[in-house]
Structure formats: C-alpha cells, structure tokens
C-alpha cells in the first residue's frame, strides 16, 4: 500500500524569539547549527518509510516560497497553502482530501515540521509497525514518547498496557499536567508524552472526521469539489477560513474508539524552548572561551550557534547568534543570549517560559 507523509509547517515558534519570528519561524531555521533546517531534517528522517515524491507540506501562504527553496524536489502541487491558520484538524483534513483524490487507499503519516528525533532507525521501525497496523484495520495510531522526566510542558497519553515499540490501545489523552501529576504519571509507567505524530489510512481519518467533525467535513467536501479546476484557489480562500479552529486531538482523538499508540525512546524533543535547543546542540559547538583547551572550558556548560561568539567567564549559557558579525558575552550564568536581524534577547534560562509574553506585550 502506498504511503504518504504530511508535514505541518505553519507554526511561529514564539518561545524562541528572536531566533524564530513570524517572518521566519523555527521550522525554516538551522536551529541546531548543523547545516539543515528543521523542515529538511524532518523530510530526511522520513525517507526510509516514504518515497520522496509522496511528501506533502501544509503551511501558510506566506511561507510557500520558503518551503520550495528548502525542498526544491517537492512537487509544486504538494506544497499546500492555508489562507489562514486554523489549527491541526482543518490542516490535516485538507491534506488528506488531496491525498485521497490521488489514491483513496493510501496510508498516511502526519508530523510537525519542527521536532527533533535522535534515534531515526528506531523511529522508522515504529512507523513501519504502525503502517502495517493501519493498513489492515480501521485504526489510528499515534506516536508516544517514553518520558525521561516529569515534564509539565507536554500532553500525555495513557496506554492500556506498557509494551514498548508495540501498538496498543489508548485509554485516555491527558492535558499538560502540574508537577505532582507529572511525577505520578512517570511513576505509573503507562503514560507517555504525546508527540503529535499520527499514522492512519486516509479512508479511516476521513470517516472519523465525518463522524466526529461533520461541519469540517462538509466544508472540505465543497473545497475538494474544486480540486483541479480554475476556481480551486478562490474556493479555498473563501471556504477554508470558515472552518472551526480546532486541533485534531479535540476533533477526533479524544472522541474516537479506534485510537492506538506505539511508544518508545526515540530521542524526541519539540525544541520549543531555548533549554531544549541547548540540550541538543552538538558537543563540538561547546564554549570557545579564551582558552578552549583548558579544564575550565570543559566545565562551562555553554552552548553556541553562530560565527564569532566569545564567552568570557560564562557558565551554562546558550548564545544563538547565527548571522551576527561578532558577539561578546561576559560574566553570565544560566542565561540566554539570542541575536537575529537586529533584535536581541538577554534572559535568564529560568524565565524562558515568559519570552512569549514579553514579545506579545510589545
């Protein structure tokens, strides 16, 4: 059975300002200093399970040219432009209707464009198992991440049983917990992080959307009727904004009785904060302080992205200044320093969850 991949690339990554901005959000940036953007890394990790001609990217109209520059081999008709942002359910419904128009029996993987997976081979194995499962039955499989800490910033999935890297039934989806609840989830052993990665047959998801989100499905029926016609763009522009802004979790996952999960330790991160970026910057990018070969340099814990960045007497800082001519930082401990396009952020790591608020206030 043919497999397609839908990459959702419409977010703005506001917690990583000013590196990530609405003009150039994190999925289109070389966030880790490895010479590839997050979008390009996402495509690369999924090539073992999907032919490159079967990738689709859903993004905002203003990012279409960026996607085409970064993925020049992607067929032009498979960069889908949303006229307005309407959360994940309309995004997914639109892309799946496009795929169904080509092959109504396709298996589909849906993934965000801005997450990191370290263990790509294990991830591919889990996806193959999920694809085999959805090919043979009416089922939706979501990918869970074995938690490494009592994280309060992620949603959780309760599994019916703990069988690593095997498909099992989902008991419940849980919202982001407080610290005590997260610790209880970790101790329980049947809870995993919700990565927002899904596997299904296109027939299954369209059927589930029709059952649980009928208004959305009816709007998509009208949009799909215009596919391949001269009026397709105008129809999409007129009707897509009428869709309710709703997540696929709320629209389908929390209501359906055919939801399963496959979970494992794949070295996943949503890279939604400077701390998470810092944790995954390659070790070779560690602190080039005045004496890089000294014992003190090995203990600084600093991480940098950029060219001429000089840290003096700093400890456990992240400096992200790609494209800046020269940045000098002295005497800081546990700080973020970020520079991009004339915008500068200097903020304690402990305050990073407030960055989004800082930016919105301005």
Summarize pLDDT for 41-51 with one digit per residue, the tens: 999 999 999 99
| 285 and 252 co-located in one domain | no
Pairing between β-strand 116-117 and β-strand 268-269 as defined by DSSP bridges: antiparallel
Residues 196 and 336 in one domain: no
pLDDT in tens, 197-247: 999 999 999 999 999 999 999 999 999 999 999 999 999 999 999 999 999
Asked if pLDDT for residue 296 goes beyond 80, the answer is no
Count of domains in the chain? 2
Quote the DSSP letter at residue 162. -
pLDDT, tens only, 154-167 = 999 999 999 999 99
Residues 31 and 178 in one domain: yes
User: How many angstroms separate the CA atoms of 332 and 304, rounded?
Assistant: 14
pLDDT at 283: 57
Mean pLDDT computed over 325-332: 93
- As a whole number of angstroms, the distance between CA 12 and CA 355 comes to 13
Query: Are 304 and 238 members of one domain?
Result: no
The Cα 355–Cα 334 span in angstroms is 15
Closest CA to 66 of 19, 14, 26: 26
From 214, 249, 272, the end of a domain falls on 272
- Read off the DSSP letter of residue 2: -
The answer to whether residues 188 and 240 belong to one domain is: yes
Q: What residues contact 189, with CB distance under 8 A and at least 6 apart?
A: 162
pLDDT at 357: 86
Binned at pLDDT 50, 70 and 90, residue 285 comes out as very low
- Distance of alpha carbon 329 from alpha carbon 338, whole angstroms: 11
Last residue of a domain, one of 214, 248, 272: 272
CB 122 within 8 A of CB 279: no
Q: Are 237 and 179 in contact (CB under 8 A)?
A: no
The closest of 319, 309, 315, 312 to 290, measured between CA atoms, is 312
Predicted confidence band of residue 362 (pLDDT cuts 50, 70, 90): low
Q: What is the pLDDT of residue 295?
A: 44
- Classify strands 167-174 and 156-159 as parallel, antiparallel or unpaired: antiparallel
**Alpha-helix runs per DSSP H in 50-178:** 64-70, 88-102, 120-136
Distance CA 259, CA 74 (A): 31
Average pLDDT over residues 180-194: 96
- Domain region containing 295: 281-361
Degrees to nearest 5, angle at CA 285 with 280 and 287: 110
- Residue 12 above 90 pLDDT? no
Tell me the torsion sign for CA atoms 265, 270, 274, 277.
positive
Same domain, 86 and 226: yes
> How do residues 65-123 score in pLDDT, each as one tens digit?
999 999 999 998 999 999 999 999 999 999 999 999 999 999 999 999 999 999 999 99
Closest among 177, 180, 173 to 152, alpha carbons compared: 177
The answer to whether residues 197 and 331 belong to one domain is no
Residue with tokens 């998801």: 205
> Do 225 and 345 belong to one domain?
no
Write out the H or E segment, with its range, that includes residue 335: strand 335-340
For residues 119 and 221, state if they share a domain. Answer: yes
Q: Are residues 29 and 160 in the same domain?
A: yes
Contacts of 198 (CB under 8 A, 6+ apart): 92, 108, 109, 110, 111, 140, 141, 142, 143, 248
The C-alpha atoms of residue 124 and residue 105 are separated, in whole angstroms, by 21
Residues 246 and 332 occupy one common structural domain: no
């Amino acid at each position: 059975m043919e497999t397609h991949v839908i990459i959702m690339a419409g977010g703005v990554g506001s917690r990583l300002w000013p590196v990530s901005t609405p003009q150039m959000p994190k999925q289109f940036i070389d966030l880790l200093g490895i010479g590839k953007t997050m979008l390009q890394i996402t495509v690369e990790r999924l090539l073992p399970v999907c032919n490159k001609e079967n990738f689709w990217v859903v993004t905002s109209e203003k990012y279409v040219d960026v996607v085409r520059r970064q993925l020049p081999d992607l067929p032009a008709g498979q960069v889908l432009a949303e006229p307005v942002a309407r959360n994940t359910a309309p995004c997914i419904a639109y892309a799946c209707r496009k795929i169904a128009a080509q092959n109504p029996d396709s298996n589909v993987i849906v993934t965000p464009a801005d997450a990191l997976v370290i263990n790509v081979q294990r991830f591919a194995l889990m996806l193959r198992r999920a694809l085999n499962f959805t090919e043979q039955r009416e089922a939706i499989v979501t990918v869970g991440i074995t938690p490494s800490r009592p994280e309060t910033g992620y949603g959780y999935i309760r599994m019916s049983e703990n069988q690593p890297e095997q498909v099992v039934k989902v008991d419940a989806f849980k919202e982001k917990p407080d610290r005590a609840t997260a610790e209880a989830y970790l101790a329980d052993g049947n809870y995993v992080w919700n990565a927002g990665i899904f596997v299904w047959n296109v027939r299954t998801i369209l059927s589930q959307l029709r059952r649980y989100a009928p208004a959305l499905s009816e709007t998509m029926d009208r949009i799909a009727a215009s596919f391949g016609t001269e009026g397709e763009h105008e129809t999409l522009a007129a009707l897509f904004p009428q869709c309710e802004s709703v997540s696929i979790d709320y629209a389908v996952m929390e209501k359906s009785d055919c939801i399963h999960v496959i979970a494992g330790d794949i070295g996943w991160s949503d890279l939604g904060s400077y701390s998470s970026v810092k944790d995954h910057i390659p070790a070779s990018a560690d602190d080039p302080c005045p004496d890089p070969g000294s014992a003190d340099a090995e203990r600084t814990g600093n991480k940098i992205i950029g060219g001429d960045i000089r840290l003096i007497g700093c400890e456990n800082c992240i400096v992200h200044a790609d494209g800046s001519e020269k940045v000098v930082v002295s005497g800081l401990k546990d700080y973020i320093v970020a520079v991009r396009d004339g915008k500068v952020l200097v903020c304690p790591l402990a305050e990073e969850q407030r960055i989004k608020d800082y930016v919105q206030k301005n």
